[in-house]
Amino acid sequence: MIIPVILSGGSGTRLWPLSRKEFPKQFLNIANNELSLLQETLHRIPSFCHKEPIIVCNESHRFIVAEQLRNTNIKASTIILEPEGRNTAPAIALAALHALTIHQNPKLLILSADHLIKNTDAFHNSIRDGFEACNSGYFVTFGVKPTRPETGYGYIKASNLGSSIHEIKEFTEKPNFSVAKRYFESGEYFWNSGMFMFDAQIYLDELNKFEPEVFKYCEKSYKNSQFDLDFLRVEQESFKLSSNISVDYAILERTKKACVVLLTSDWSDLGSWYSLWLEKEKTSDNNLIEGDVEIMNVSNSLIYSKERLTAVIGLKNIVVIDTDDALLISSKDDVNKTKDLVDILNKSSRSEATIHKKVHRPWGWFKSLSSYRGFQVKLLMVKPGNKLSLQKHAHRSEHWVVISGIAKVTCDSSVKELKANESTFIPVGCVHRLENCYDHNLKIIEVQTGDYLGEDDIERIEDDYLRG
């Protein structure tokens, strides 16, 4: 049995400001207007695999993953929550341990949640080739034939190039341009796609052989795990003691059982704005334009603006990404340094590095509209059948105005319904709750006033989502 494992722990910092830590690129409809990258990954799981994948994700993304699963009508075997990102080797160890509770001899197909693959049939054929090698006891990594010198990918040097299954001579980390050019021209190297296939038990045995501490802490954290709603929470302290190490370093570069299978479909990890520009359809002037954009005498550029009009005149080879709270302007040659810029923003404690103005919650979302000293205005959307926690605030009061839908409002002992254009006041310290009992989205304007307006000024008394 092949059990798909989808790793959804990336932060996508090179696609800032559209991708951010709390809502990274795998959850964005960045390559397809209908589906996120995670949803596209779910849809291309081969039919000959186990129909319910294992998903490993960051704890803070759990409700986003669950919601995107529901929207695709695909059920996960389980969603394993990492209390802290420890790279791919520990994440896969948790999935392997869980897979052994599903089937006695599972093969794992390891997929990343943020890849773009257009030719699904060719992708499935490569998986079949990988399964053949996997059944012979090999650790399979899927390699991509390079189409250009690329400094953003790792490389695999292979032999036996006339076959679909190749021996691995060496792994190489992301090279500089001159080395990447030499690799590309030699024809002996593949890009390392970051997708793998191997036997779950053999993986754990090799991990225990090469990284016994990683194996020990992952096994302990899994054995002490607990289910929470649809999620599997592993024991935090043990997992955090695991080394932060990739599966490439932990096993594939050390085992004698590794091979590379050619991925015959097209592939991109959409790791930067430049890679997105390469992949998507462009105008006659080689521009990729998305959103409300007007240009004059612009060429070889990517201009994105969904929130407001962006106008560009007389430039070439640039990237402009405009969101409602941040603007990125870069030469196309330097746009891969966006990750370094996000590091600077994090060191300056800029919230724009991690969250959008629109913040997703399990009950819906809220968007910050305006704020100043002593007040903040938000737009809240509550999905049908959902409700916020029963809570109170120590530092702020709130005014709610219903824009659309019908709100059920609890305020201490009072419970009432409000329709469009009706409002209510929630005093400081009042135990309150907002609920949508009907079949349409509920939207309200919330005006907060007080001496402290931080999101941590919430004391939850009851919560359907078991948040602290």
Is 467 a domain residue? Answer: no
For residues 272, 277, 280, 286, the Cα torsion angle rounded to the nearest 10 degrees is: 180
Same domain, 196 and 253: yes
Is 352 a domain residue? Answer: no
Q: Amino acid identity of 432?
A: H
Is 267 a domain residue? Answer: no
Q: How would residue 167 be classed by pLDDT, with cut points 50, 70 and 90?
A: confident
Same domain, 184 and 115: yes
- The mean pLDDT value for 108-123 works out to 95
Is 258 a domain residue? Answer: yes
- The mean pLDDT value for 92-98 works out to 98
Structural domain ending residue among the three candidates 262, 282, 311: 262
Helices (H) and strands (E) in the chain, counts: 11, 26
Burial 322-346 (b: 16+ CB within 10 A, else e): bbeebebebebeebbebeebbeebe
Same domain, 389 and 296: no
> pLDDT digit string (tens) for 38-65?
999 999 999 999 999 999 999 999 999 9
What is the token pair recorded at 300?
A: 């070889």
We report the CATH number of the domain holding residue 377 as 2.60.120.10
Burial bucket for residue 166 (CB in 10 Å: 0-12, 13-18, 19+) = buried
In contact, 419 and 440? CB cutoff 8 Å? no
Q: Count of CB atoms within 10 A of residue 316's CB?
A: 14
Please tell me the distance from the alpha carbon of residue 248 to that of residue 156, in angstroms, as a whole number.
Answer: 11
Same domain, 187 and 239: yes
Question: What is the 3 state secondary structure string of 305-370?
Answer: EEEEEEEEECCECEEEEECCCCEEEEEHHHHHHHHHHHHHHHHCCCHHHCCCCEEEECCEEEEEEE
Strands (E), 42-154: 54-58, 78-82, 107-112, 139-144
Burial bucket for residue 291 (CB in 10 Å: 0-12, 13-18, 19+) = middle
Q: How would residue 161 be classed by pLDDT, with cut points 50, 70 and 90?
A: low
Alpha helices in 81-172 (DSSP H): 88-99, 120-135
Is 196 a domain residue? Answer: yes
Longest CA–CA separation in the chain, Å: 76
Same domain, 160 and 280: no
We report the CATH number of the domain holding residue 181 as 3.90.550.10
Structural domain ending residue among the three candidates 319, 347, 375: 347
Q: Which domain covers residue 140, as residue numbers?
A: 2-262
Phi, psi of 64 (to 5 degrees): -65, -45
Question: What is the 3 state secondary structure string of 151-177?
Answer: CCCCEEEECCCCCCEEEEEEEECCCCH
Length of the chain: 468
> pLDDT digit string (tens) for 182-214?
999 998 899 999 999 999 999 999 999 999 999
Phi, psi of 165 (to 5 degrees): -115, 125
Is 443 a domain residue? Answer: yes
Structural domain ending residue among the three candidates 323, 347, 371: 347
Q: Amino acid identity of 309?
A: L
Q: What percent of the chain has pLDDT over 70?
A: 99
Number of domains comprising the chain: 3
Find the helix packing angle between 212-223 and 88-99, rounded to 10°.
50
> pLDDT digit string (tens) for 266-291?
999 998 999 999 999 999 999 999 99
What is the token pair recorded at 280?
A: 């998507």
Mean pLDDT score of the chain: 94
Q: Omega before 17 cis (within 30°)?
A: yes
Same domain, 201 and 97: yes
Q: Count of CB atoms within 10 A of residue 121's CB?
A: 10
Same domain, 132 and 223: yes
> pLDDT digit string (tens) for 347-405?
999 999 999 999 999 999 999 999 899 999 999 999 999 999 999 999 999 999 999 99
Which H or E run contains 63? helix 62-72
Is 268 a domain residue? Answer: no
Which H or E run contains 194? strand 189-199
Same domain, 286 and 212: no
In contact, 310 and 326? CB cutoff 8 Å? no
Please tell me the distance from the alpha carbon of residue 410 to that of residue 458, in angstroms, as a whole number.
Answer: 16
pTM for this model (two decimals): 0.91
- The mean pLDDT value for 11-25 works out to 94
What is the token pair recorded at 88?
A: 């791919």
Query: Half-sphere exposure of 112 toward its Cβ, with a 13 Å CA cutoff?
Result: 23
Instruction: Report which DSSP code applies to 268.
Output: B
Same domain, 300 and 258: no
Same domain, 186 and 133: yes
Same domain, 226 and 312: no
In contact, 3 and 109? CB cutoff 8 Å? yes
Please tell me the distance from the alpha carbon of residue 177 to that of residue 409, in angstroms, as a whole number.
Answer: 60
Burial bucket for residue 164 (CB in 10 Å: 0-12, 13-18, 19+) = middle
Beta sheet of 302-313, edge-to-edge order: 288-296, 302-313, 318-322, 327-331
Burial bucket for residue 409 (CB in 10 Å: 0-12, 13-18, 19+) = buried
Is 308 a domain residue? Answer: yes
Q: What is the pLDDT of residue 11?
A: 84
Q: Measuring CA to CA, which residue among 345, 344, 322 is closest to residue 273?
A: 322
Same domain, 184 and 313: no
